[in-house]
């Protein structure tokens, strides 16, 4: 599973978009209620 963290102030995620398989398959973009945009690089799940 993934756990994404951003900033220190609470906000609500208003939109999530995954990169297309050809252009940017390992990106997740989140926009928040505070107006910020966060781009995460996601990779394979590592079992711990």
Question: Quick check: 2 and 18 in contact, CB under 8 A?
Answer: no
Summary count for the chain: helices (H), strands (E) = 0, 3
Positions of the chain with pLDDT lower than 50, given as ranges? none
pLDDT for residue 27:
87
pTM of the predicted protein model: 0.62
């Amino acid at each position: 599973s993934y756990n994404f963290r951003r900033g220190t102030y609470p906000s609500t995620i208003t939109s999530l978009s995954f990169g297309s398989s050809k252009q940017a398959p390992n990106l997740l973009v989140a926009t928040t209620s505070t107006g910020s945009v966060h781009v995460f690089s996601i990779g394979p799940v590592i079992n711990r």
